[in-house]
């Protein structure tokens, strides 16, 4: 186990994510399938010779300095505050002079935030870096979930945090992740619509619609999400029914998961035999999948001509990683 005294440079790296199936249904207890992707947040912690704790955030650009025992409730420094709280670490036991850099630049394109779960990845990376700094055991998934809930106000299922923490493809249900596999011959592309999403607002709309009941459209979505999570080898066979169930729920609840941009990307996908759906809450990112790589390449060229951004990203086998250098 490490100790604070031997601090050099700590680097904690956590990948982004995409929800493949189970969005919204996971909030009703259904399983979701999610993938970690190879766009990563890096948190670097370095001992400084003087000054307070200096925070530098890149991607989400911010700079601040705070005493270790006076960390605020908002901004990048708040993330450190909630991470230490989740780890049950008193900041006064840590060095008084630190430089903490949170680099999420791979989650941005031309200053536009892409929907790859940067806040979840930041929570995972910062919690792990501070655990290493404190010389305690690596954080559990429950630690990083608590960090993210505190920082983001408690919204969401935690599937994004779990995907970043675990890596690979996971089946996530009721707070518990398990490894999952999709057929190896599936080809995918991630698409940015150019329209950002306010996830918390969309989830509030969903919660207001369902209230304390389970509408028929939500039951259908839960059934489809469960079927595809229980049989991931049949992913492409079962995905059309899941997409239809998600569309019907979205129309009933008037959430806006399928924005006009997503609907257009979906119509274009059908021309090439590609299946397309929004990822997660909706609005920003979508995914196209097929067994035919040439069809996928043709679809990518078409949607780029239509003004969409094809975002290169592969499934990341590795989740959270911590190292010293």
Chain segment 266-315, per-residue pLDDT in tens = 999 999 999 999 998 877 899 999 999 999 999 999 999 999 999 999 99
Residue at token pair 């990083």: 144
Structure tokens at 60: 């989400």
pLDDT for 2:
44
**How many other C-beta atoms can be found within 10 angstroms of the C-beta atom of residue 10?**
22
How far is Cα 71 from Cα 270, in angstroms, rounded to an integer? 51
pTM: 0.94
- Rounded Cα distance between 265 and 253, Å, is 22
Distance, in Å, from the CA atom of 4 to the CA atom of 93, rounded to the nearest integer, reads: 9
C-beta separation of 222 from 29 below 8 A = yes
- Only one residue has tokens 């536009």, namely 112
Q: Would you put residue 220 in left (φ > 0), alpha (ψ -120 to 50) or beta?
A: alpha
Rounded to an integer, what distance in angstroms lies between the CA atom of residue 235 and that of residue 268? Answer: 21
Spell out, as residue ranges, where the chain has pLDDT lower than 50: 1-2, 5
Q: How far is CA 43 from CA 16, 101, 122, 230, in A?
A: 14, 6, 8, 35
Structure tokens that stand for 28 in this block: 């009703």
What domains lie within the chain, and their CATH numbers?
4-180+315-324 (3.30.230.10), 187-311 (3.30.70.890)
pLDDT tens figures, 119-136: 999 999 999 999 999 999
- Rounded distance between C-alpha atoms, residue 170 and residue 173, angstroms: 10
């Amino acid at each position: 186990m490490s100790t604070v005294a031997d601090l050099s440079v700590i680097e904690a790296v956590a990948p982004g994510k995409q929800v493949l199936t189970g969005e919204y249904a996971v909030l009703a207890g259904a399983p979701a399938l999610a993938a970690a992707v190879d766009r990563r947040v890096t948190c670097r912690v370095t001992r400084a010779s003087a000054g307070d704790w200096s925070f530098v955030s890149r991607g989400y650009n911010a700079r601040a300095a705070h005493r270790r025992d006076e960390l605020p409730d908002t901004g990048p420094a708040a993330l450190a505050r909630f991470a230490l709280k989740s780890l049950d670490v008193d900041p006064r036991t840590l060095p008084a002079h630190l430089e903490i850099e949170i680099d999420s630049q791979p989650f941005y394109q031309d200053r536009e935030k892409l929907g790859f779960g940067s806040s979840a990845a930041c929570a995972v990376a910062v919690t792990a870096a501070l655990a290493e700094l404190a010389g305690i055991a690596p954080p559990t998934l429950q630690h990083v979930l608590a960090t993210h809930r505190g920082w983001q106000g408690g919204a969401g299922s935690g599937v994004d945090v779990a995907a970043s923490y675990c890596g690979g493809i996971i089946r996530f249900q009721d707070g518990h992740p398990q490894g999952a596999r999709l057929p190896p011959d599936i080809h995918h592309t991630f698409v940015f619509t150019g329209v950002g999403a306010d996830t918390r607002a969309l989830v509030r709309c969903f919660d207001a619609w369902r209230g304390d009941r389970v509408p028929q459209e939500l039951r259908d979505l839960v059934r489809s999400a469960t079927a595809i999570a229980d049989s991931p080898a049949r992913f492409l066979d079962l995905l059309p029914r899941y997409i239809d169930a998600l569309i019907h729920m979205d129309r009933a609840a008037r959430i806006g998961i399928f924005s006009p941009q997503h609907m257009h990307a979906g119509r274009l996908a059908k021309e090439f035999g590609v299946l397309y759906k929004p990822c997660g809450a909706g609005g920003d990112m979508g995914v196209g999948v097929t067994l035919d790589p040439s069809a996928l390449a043709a679809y990518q060229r078409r949607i780029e001509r239509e003004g969409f951004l094809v975002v290169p990203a592969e499934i990341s086998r590795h989740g959270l990683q911590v190292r010293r250098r």
